[in-house]
Amino acid sequence: MSYEFVHVSYEKNLALVEIDSPPANALSSNCIRELRAIVSELDQNEDVFAVIITGHGRFFVAGADIKEFIPAMGDKQKGLDMAEAGQALCDEIENMRKPVIAAVNGPALGGGLELAMACHIRLAAKEAIFGLPELNLGLIPAFGGTQRLSRLTSLDHALHMILTSEHVSAEEAKSIGLVREVVEKDLVKRAKELALSYVEKNSTETVSRAVEAVVKGYKEPLKTGLKREQEFFGELFLTEDAKEGVEAFSEKRSPNFKHS
């Protein structure tokens, strides 16, 4: 299927999702709709083991499409609908049962930062900047920013960034835990290397369960997460890949996983 605002390419069981909505890759309602369709498609594609999301051109994503806000002013339901669509996209990305890496190639502001925070891992080009400037518009972050930022950094950092609308550099984003790595050059290449390191030598059965256990458990009581961990561990005893992995370890050889 072809899309107007998003391009998808494939390499070695990796999917590269490139947002291309000139001039600043704003998340219009149509762009969000396309991204949700792509996320659903990739989540169900058994040949895709990991996903990378990046921006085309100079921007990662500059934010929501403010032009759509103007005619919606005075209509609470339209505001609710916009927030619901943005949150649904971010939830769907976060809940994918395969690793999702944000390769933040440039400014990630507002909805762009919220989209990046929904990804499981964030890499940033050295020129990338991050911010939630919604208070400058008389609004607040509404695609999950008021919730995910404090979970990834701290209450102090989240409130400061949101209340001041200040941008932070890639290096500062790394120092507060928002970004895992700052990449000097070849950002997408590095993202592909990292994605392959997660999936190339592992069974997709274990990767998907590990991602789900960590992501869901992060937001739940410890006891609930531990119960899921037990269930997944037991289920894996029924798989051919677990049998192969244990036998390979015992025989001091590399496993040959069949992803089943």
Give the three-class secondary structure for 193: helix
Catalytic choice (18, 34, 114, 205): 114
* Residue 116 contacts residue 101 (beta carbons within 8 Å): no
Residue reference for tokens 């709709």 = 33
CA triple 67-70-72, angle to 5 deg:
115
Q: How far apart are CA 62 and CA 24, in angstroms?
A: 6
Q: What is the DSSP string of 7-54?
A: EEEEETTEEEEEE--TTTT-B-HHHHHHHHHHHHHHHH-TT--EEEEE
Closest CA relative to residue 88, chosen from 15, 13, 35: 35
Closest CA relative to residue 8, chosen from 30, 47, 41, 57: 41
Catalytic choice (18, 34, 94, 134): 134
Closest CA relative to residue 69, chosen from 139, 7, 121, 22: 139
* Residue 213 contacts residue 228 (beta carbons within 8 Å): yes
Is 114 assigned a catalytic role? Answer: yes
Centre a 10 Å sphere on the Cβ of residue 95 and count the other Cβ atoms it contains. Answer: 15
Per-residue buried b or exposed e for 140-161, using 16+ beta carbons within 10 Å of the residue's own CB: ebbbbbbbbbbebbeeebbeeb
Is 244 assigned a catalytic role? Answer: no
Q: How far apart are CA 69 and CA 71, in angstroms?
A: 6
> Any idea which residues carry the catalytic annotation?
114, 134
